[in-house]
Amino acid sequence: MTQVNDTLSYPKENIRILLLEGIHPSAVRNLNKNGFTNVERHDVAWSEKELLEKIGDVHVIGIRSKTQITEEVIQKAGKLKAIGCFCIGTNQVDLTAAMRAGITVFNSPYSNTRSVAELVIAESIMLLRKIPLRDKKAHEGVWLKDAKESYEIRGKRIGIIGYGHIGSQVSVLAESMGLKVSYYDILPKLPMGNARRVESMDDLFETCDIITLHVPATPDTYMMIGTDQLSKMKKGSILLNLSRGSVVDIHSLKESIESGHISGAAIDVYPKEPESKNERFHSELQNLPNVILTPHIGGSTLEAQFNIGVDVSTKIINLIDNGTTVGSHSVPELNLPTQKNAHRILHIHENKPGVLSEINRILSDMNINILGQYLKTNEEIGYVVLDIDKQYDEALIEKLSGVKYTIRSRILY
């Protein structure tokens, strides 16, 4: 029998953490403070080729929206335990491949909601006041001092498509500015304040002065705003897209603006975006009147990036320190207590009948006392956490790793 120390089985300083795309230093500080000192940080995204060459000895990788974690990268990442998406989405990661490899994927879906919501309100005011035109003319030396086609935001109706964390925050800010709020979501959502839920997007198009989009990138939202939808919008209304570049048909929007049916637009995301600051940006919407184009910065405030850095790094720390997977998009979520005077083992396996029974049979045959057992499954995999007596047989991990359908098994502490 072997007595183990109440420490991580793998020294923290040997856990290699790779952070790409200029992740906020708050993440590095949080990791360092918790004993993870082997942290490498880069300001740029890596190509798939670079990842394939260098991912082999990485235990944790942190990315934002540009770096693509493909199935090929995951297959090459033999030591990878976690992928941290330091942003709202996870569509840059092959989640199915990560799940089947037992790699936990985290993101930060709430930390920049305020940043996006504030920009929506600010750009709505700018578009209703025709500020892009007046700013351009002032820079050209033209004194365009009049109230023509310039309107207050108060009393107008804003239509929010997607009433999730960002959409509902827009709702609160909009109402405080005197806007009337309507929203549409495919799921029933309780309204904030005096917001009114409508039954279809057409209801929003027909009644709203402002349409703002806050939906994920899915097959259902692909090009959801095209010629037909734009034609149904109120003449003179404005459109804002700070969600995903795939949800608006840019060419149709250009035609609607040029015809005068849509009076303005604010776009932060695009079907194709530059890979880096060195690549030139092109869009059909460039140089159109009353159009604000921003380079995917809806959530890019210092406050948001600081909070995201802390949030995602904390999830990574909790995973490595005690096996907690709350917020995971791949491994089933478990919120685990810290066990004193115990030994913790993590076991990830295919979700097949008989696996848990086999694990318990092994423990029973080896006369090992279980102090705690936690199990969560999804459609493809199961996650079992075992807390056992500090006295254990060295052959235990080998036996657990040999259980049929095992994906990975390891000693945590």
- Written as one string, the DSSP assignment of 163-230 is -SHHHHHHHHHHHHTT-EEEEE-SS--PPSTT-EE-SSHHHHHHH-SEEEE-----TTTTT-BSHHHH
Q: Give CA–CA dist 196/183, Å, rounded.
A: 6
- Domains identified in the chain and CATH numbers: 1-107+301-331 (3.40.50.720), 113-293 (3.40.50.720), 334-412 (3.30.70.260)
Task: Assess whether pLDDT exceeds 80 at residue 375.
Answer: yes
Do the beta carbons of residue 207 and residue 157 sit within 8 Å? yes
Please enumerate in sequence order all residues whose Cβ is within 8 A of that of 225, keeping only pairs 6 or more positions apart, or say none.
213, 239, 241, 247, 248, 249, 252, 253
Spatial CA neighbour of 121 closest among 210, 230, 244:
210
Res 9: pLDDT:
56
Q: How confident is the model at residue 7 (pLDDT cuts 50, 70, 90)?
A: very low
Mean pLDDT of 355-383: 94
The dihedral sign for the CA sequence 66, 67, 69, 72: positive
Q: Give CA–CA dist 247/68, Å, rounded.
A: 20
Whole-number percent of the chain with pLDDT over 70: 97
Which residue stretches of 4-157 are H helix? 25-33, 48-54, 71-76, 95-100, 113-128, 131-139
Q: How confident is the model at residue 342 (pLDDT cuts 50, 70, 90)?
A: confident
Q: Give CA–CA dist 183/191, Å, rounded.
A: 8
Backbone angles phi, psi at 264, to 5 degrees: 180, 165
Catalytic residue among 48, 50, 255, 273: 273
Backbone angles phi, psi at 117, to 5 degrees: -60, -40
Q: How confident is the model at residue 183 (pLDDT cuts 50, 70, 90)?
A: very high
Residue that is written with structure tokens 């936690």 in the block: 374
Mean pLDDT of 341-351: 93
User: Would you call 273 a catalytic residue per the annotation?
Assistant: yes
Per-residue pLDDT tens digits for 249-269? 999 999 999 999 999 999 999
Cα separations (Å) of 124 from 196, 209, 301? 19, 10, 19
Structure tokens at 301: 């405030």
Mean pLDDT of 338-367: 93
Do the beta carbons of residue 286 and residue 259 sit within 8 Å? no
Burial of 248 (0-12, 13-18, 19+ CB in 10 A): buried
Q: Give CA–CA dist 404/397, Å, rounded.
A: 14
Task: Assess whether pLDDT exceeds 60 at residue 166.
Answer: yes
Task: Assess whether pLDDT exceeds 60 at residue 409.
Answer: yes
Q: How confident is the model at residue 168 (pLDDT cuts 50, 70, 90)?
A: very high
User: Would you call 244 a catalytic residue per the annotation?
Assistant: yes
Task: Assess whether pLDDT exceeds 70 at residue 219.
Answer: yes
Task: Assess whether pLDDT exceeds 80 at residue 5.
Answer: no
- Choose the weakest-confidence range: 5-14, 121-130, 290-299, 366-375: 5-14
Res 259: pLDDT:
97
Please enumerate in sequence order all residues whose Cβ is within 8 A of that of 376, keeping only pairs 6 or more positions apart, or say none.
325, 332, 333, 334, 382, 383
Average pLDDT score over the chain: 94
Res 25: pLDDT:
97
Whole-number percent of the chain with pLDDT over 90: 88
Burial of 398 (0-12, 13-18, 19+ CB in 10 A): exposed
Per-residue pLDDT tens digits for 48-97? 999 999 999 999 999 998 999 999 999 999 999 999 999 988 989 999 99
Res 389: pLDDT:
86
Could you tell me the end-to-end alpha-carbon distance of the chain, in angstroms, rounded to an integer?
16
Catalytic residue among 59, 214, 244, 343: 244
CA 32 to chain centre: 23
Q: How confident is the model at residue 341 (pLDDT cuts 50, 70, 90)?
A: confident
Question: Who has greater pLDDT, 139 or 4?
Answer: 139
Catalytic residue among 29, 165, 197, 296: 296
Q: How confident is the model at residue 4 (pLDDT cuts 50, 70, 90)?
A: very low
Question: Who has greater pLDDT, 393 or 265?
Answer: 265
CA 69 to chain centre: 14
Which residue stretches of 249-384 are H helix? 250-259, 302-322, 355-365
Helix (H, G, I), strand (E, B) or coil at 132: helix
What letter would DSSP give residue 13?
Answer: G
Per-residue pLDDT tens digits for 272-311? 999 778 899 999 999 999 999 999 999 999 999 999 999 9
Task: Assess whether pLDDT exceeds 70 at residue 44.
Answer: yes
User: Would you call 24 a catalytic residue per the annotation?
Assistant: no
Cα separations (Å) of 279 from 19, 275, 276, 299, 352? 22, 7, 6, 21, 48
Res 1: pLDDT:
32
Task: Assess whether pLDDT exceeds 80 at residue 392.
Answer: no
